[in-house]
Structure 1
């Protein structure tokens, strides 16, 4: 459809021709996709509430607040966007006729941008919080409270909301996309559309980059503390669990969102015509992030992992620390026995007690000589 003076902006695409094609997709796929995501996030939210009531760790409660914000964002994103898509396949409505003022199209585009950026920004915020909590625990415990944690989540929502409102001020624009079930930012050579496309792409890529860098440093620091000589001074079970969950959230966001963000940046910078086929493909790929995120917390908890491997004492130490202690203890006993048992039984027992925690989890090896 070519643009003209009497054609609303959201229907006068300047990048690719809009094709009204309600038979292009199937309602069953969209309905199952949305239902699975909504159910997953609802289950995760219930689990988070129960965990928040039981937890006694202050750092853990802060992390649960961020997770709750992520789950609520994913749930609302699927609810809003899924309602538009499913209703389109049920009614086969043509938005050019039913929404000549572009109100619904702009709202749909704002929702796509807002609920797309929020998970990436929350992931980066969680990475910053974990980086400070692991590397500067004293500064974190004195400066961060539950109220400030909630404020940080609200600030992320506010910042993402401000970006999504920019096209309404003339900086960028939202346009209906083929097959007519959704609206998104317009990737065109026009200055404002070009700048807004790059803004959306670069904000997402920067959040992913920050998450990767800070989480890498946090993991290295946590491994050093867990496996170092001072590993008995501080409990690290909750911190290991939180880092595992955060790494998985970061990995899912990177795999799901990087193709779309790179595609938008590449198309905008090259000035080449946008491929509708690839845009649909990467959008669907990115939406999997909202479905997979809640299963990270549902499945990767110590209570669940304990059932998978009950031989590890998950209640007293995390899996990483327990495996390390067990492995290092066996290596020490094997090495000492191979050397001829130069150390006495009392010395062996004292050495193991000083290097492994808790003492009750490892039986002292007595020399039979």
Structure 2
């Protein structure tokens, strides 16, 4: 039996699992392939962003921050998980002081919240740019990077709360990763609900703002002034990408966020007084976490695939339609509306 006891450090809970079962669940080849796929996808997206025609626009800068965050998240957490799966070492013996566990817990919360917060920031930027273009201050790439830094600081501050006494990071089933504790302690409940609430609010805010922005673009397309106020192709392209990012974040993260909230609010508590979870709950948490990590792989492909150059190759008819829906009126109409 491979067992974790709570006597060696604050991050260990009772968890009994055989090495054979752990080897079947935690395959090093699966983890390594998953990590390589994600890193390659994000590197490809970063290279495409570097060659974009307007790399310093506010939206593309925020998108670059999102892809960079996803890349670093896969690199940091993937290195720990892959090495754990490959060596199959007992976390209790390798990290009795829980320093590595605490580091990974902070990283999991930080790199989990950042994409959701950045998605909300991108939705806010597009909402103001489309619905209130004259209210928006001059958007520069420096201002956008400042927004990215602010999101990073907020996510890091939240991730450090368990190290300051609010909540705990513990080793999770099958003993290869660390995350927040789904326990009945007030600190665990408060921190878990704060994490789930902040993530859910970010997704909900993105949905509301993106819905209003898309409705505004549709109204401009079909309104009376449509002939003279057509949205530019880049605005439509950015909204398509942003809606794709929102859908990916919702599908990947909401099951985990809802599961965390339901588990913490369940009566009687799911975790026993000794700190043990049922095997069904542990497996559900592992499955939902794996689904959530797909967000880091799919985000870059939303940008890579939903670009005008790619869409026009797949659907050549879009090229002529995009030219017809230009922001500027055709020359004949321009002459009729001349001075």
TM-score > 0.5 by shorter chain = yes
**Runs (5+) with no aligned partner, structure 2:** 272-276, 334-339
Superposed CA RMSD in Å reads: 2.2
Q: Which residue is 2:30 aligned to?
A: 29
Q: Which residue is 1:11 aligned to?
A: 12
**SS of residue paired to 2:319:** coil
**SS of residue paired to 2:170:** strand
Which has the higher Rg, Structure 1 or Structure 2? 1
Q: Which residue is 2:315 aligned to?
A: 309
Q: Which residue is 1:272 aligned to?
A: 270
Please tell me whether the aligned partners of residues 134 and 222 of structure 1 are also in contact (alpha carbons under 8 angstroms). Answer: yes
Comparing 36-45 with 223-232, greater Cα deviation is found at 223-232
* 1:246 equivalent in alignment to 2:218: no
Q: Which residue is 1:132 aligned to?
A: 128
1:358 to 325, 330, 335: 330
Q: Which residue is 1:257 aligned to?
A: 253
Q: Which residue is 1:366 aligned to?
A: none
Q: Which residue is 2:298 aligned to?
A: 292
Q: Which residue is 1:107 aligned to?
A: 103
> Within 5 A, what are the aligned runs for 1:1-369?
6-12=7-13, 17=15, 19=17, 21=19, 22-23=22-23, 24-51=25-52, 54-55=53-54, 61-140=57-136, 142-231=137-226, 232-233=228-229, 235-270=231-266, 271-273=269-271, 274=277, 275-313=281-319, 317=323, 321=325, 357-358=329-330
Q: 1:159-214 CA distances to partner (integer Å, 9 max, x unpaired)?
A: 00000000000100100011111000011001101110101100000000000011
Query: Take 1:224 and 1:359, find their aligned partners in 2: how far apart are those partners?
Result: 24
Q: 1:252 to 1:244 in 2, by over 3 A?
A: same
Q: CA deviation at 1:144?
A: 3.0
Please tell me whether the aligned partners of residues 217 and 231 of structure 2 are also in contact (alpha carbons under 8 angstroms). Answer: no
TM-score (normalizing by structure 1)? 0.81
Please tell me whether the aligned partners of residues 30 and 86 of structure 1 are also in contact (alpha carbons under 8 angstroms). Answer: yes
Please tell me whether the aligned partners of residues 8 and 102 of structure 1 are also in contact (alpha carbons under 8 angstroms). Answer: yes
Please tell me whether the aligned partners of residues 311 and 318 of structure 2 are also in contact (alpha carbons under 8 angstroms). Answer: no
**SS of residue paired to 1:183:** strand
Q: Which residue is 1:326 aligned to?
A: none
Q: Which residue is 2:337 aligned to?
A: none
**Equivalences, count:** 317
TM-score (normalizing by structure 2)? 0.88
Query: Take 1:307 and 1:27, find their aligned partners in 2: how far apart are those partners?
Result: 38
Please tell me whether the aligned partners of residues 4 and 92 of structure 2 are also in contact (alpha carbons under 8 angstroms). Answer: no
Q: Which residue is 1:325 aligned to?
A: none
